[in-house]
Amino acid sequence: MAQPRDFGFGEEQQMLKDASRKFMEDKQPLVTLRKQIAGSEDPYLGKERTGGFDQAAWKEMVQLGWSALAVPEKDGGAGMDLVTAVAVMEEIGRSAMPTPLTSTLHATFVLREAGTVEASAWLRKIAQGKSATLAIFGADGSLGSDSTDVAADEQGLTGTSYFIQDLQKADFLVVAAVNADGVGLYCIETEGEGVTREFDRIVDLTRDQGRVSFSAAEADCVAPANLGAQALHKAMPALLTLVAADIAGGCEWLLQTTAEYARIRTQFDRPIGFFQAVKHPIVNMMIATDETRSLVYNAACAYDTDPDDADRCARLAKSSASDTAEFCANRGTQLHGGIGFTWEADVQIYHKRQIHSQYLFGDGVWHRQKLAEQL
């Protein structure tokens, strides 16, 4: 199927992207972040991090309709496509904003693919301002739809789900669990009975991650076994594309910030950007970022208009994004010299976020292996 012009990115998407950028700039998320994480910057020796975020900003996002951006209109949302969601996600990555919006969008696309009456009920909760996240990984971290270590029976959910993103920010979980017939999807409140949360210590200062143990926890089945694994499989291209969009936005910030630093930092009576050893890596950052952004919007458009090619395009996007995340983070930090490694610099915050994103939902090597299997 032929893709629409400009990947379906039109005036409406551009207006939303511009509004998102202004919103993020006005909120100055890194200023708020530094206050919230003070004393917990070191994941090993610091105090336990709370995974805080700007709740007032989140409420504004809800009022603006961003939390319900991808929720179908019949469930009270805006019913927008993945290309539109990617436009917002790119700006979140560019500002490195701690927010439940990212994980809520992930949960939204999984519930959309479930397509059941029960899933619609939880989508309506998202439209009303509830935040959500996915609990779909087992201890091995595999991306297979059968990765889960949670079991479901008539007593409820039992077992542990790992690597849950933004667990401290979410109001409810979308859980993958094995029952007698296969993998189903279940929704449960994070503060529900029989739910125990434990939080991981991670390097990324802008996110939190954790694991949840279930003990006969009563949950709402939103996709039975014959639909649960299928919904996860069909939603995976959207999840990969959203993460890749976040990376692209962060790389854009690293590129622009590093280029500006190279213009004002002098050495040997010249701006350091004069020297080829600095100039060439910055150009390579620009090329890599543009490549990733093109693949991201291509993947989003494929998900919206050509589902048969969505998986391939999404893996290409995430593969490129993972490599670009590492490259831009490394060059951005190196070209800032000694200041780039300090707690005072914002570069190190982006560096840690990008490395976390690099491996989230699989790194470049893993996705290229999967692409090779399709040949």
Domain range for 292 is 228-373
Tell me which of 96, 127, 158 is where a domain ends.
127
Query: Cα separation of 87 and 248, whole Å?
Result: 11
Please state the pTM of the whole predicted model. 0.96
Cα 230 from chain centroid (whole Å): 21
CB 220 within 8 A of CB 175: no
Domains in the chain: how many in total?
A: 3
Closest listed residue to residue 257, CA positions, set 354, 323, 166: 354
State whether 50 and 113 are in the same domain.
yes
Burial of 58 (0-12, 13-18, 19+ CB in 10 A): buried
Tell me which of 224, 240, 259 is where a domain ends.
224
State whether 243 and 274 are in the same domain.
yes
DSSP string spanning 295-328?
Answer: HHHHHHHHHHH-GGGHHHHHHHHHHHHHHHHHHH
CATH number of 204's domain: 2.40.110.10
State whether 260 and 163 are in the same domain.
no
DSSP string spanning 193-252?
Answer: TTEEEEE---S-SS--EEEEEEEEE--EEEE-HHHHHHHHHHHHHHHHHHHHHHHHHHHH
Radius of gyration of the chain (CA): 20
Q: Is 124 helix (H, G, I), strand (E, B) or coil?
A: helix
State whether 56 and 193 are in the same domain.
no
One digit per residue, the tens of pLDDT, for the chain of length 375 reads: 678 888 989 999 999 999 999 999 999 999 988 888 888 878 877 888 887 789 999 999 999 999 999 999 999 999 999 999 999 999 999 999 999 999 999 999 999 999 999 999 999 999 999 999 999 999 988 887 778 999 999 999 999 999 999 999 999 999 999 988 899 999 999 998 999 999 999 999 999 999 999 999 999 999 998 799 999 999 999 999 999 999 999 999 999 999 999 999 988 989 888 899 999 999 999 999 999 999 999 999 999 999 999 999 999 999 999 999 999 999 999 999 888 888 888 999 999 999 999 999 999 999 999 999 988
Query: Cα separation of 85 and 66, whole Å?
Result: 9
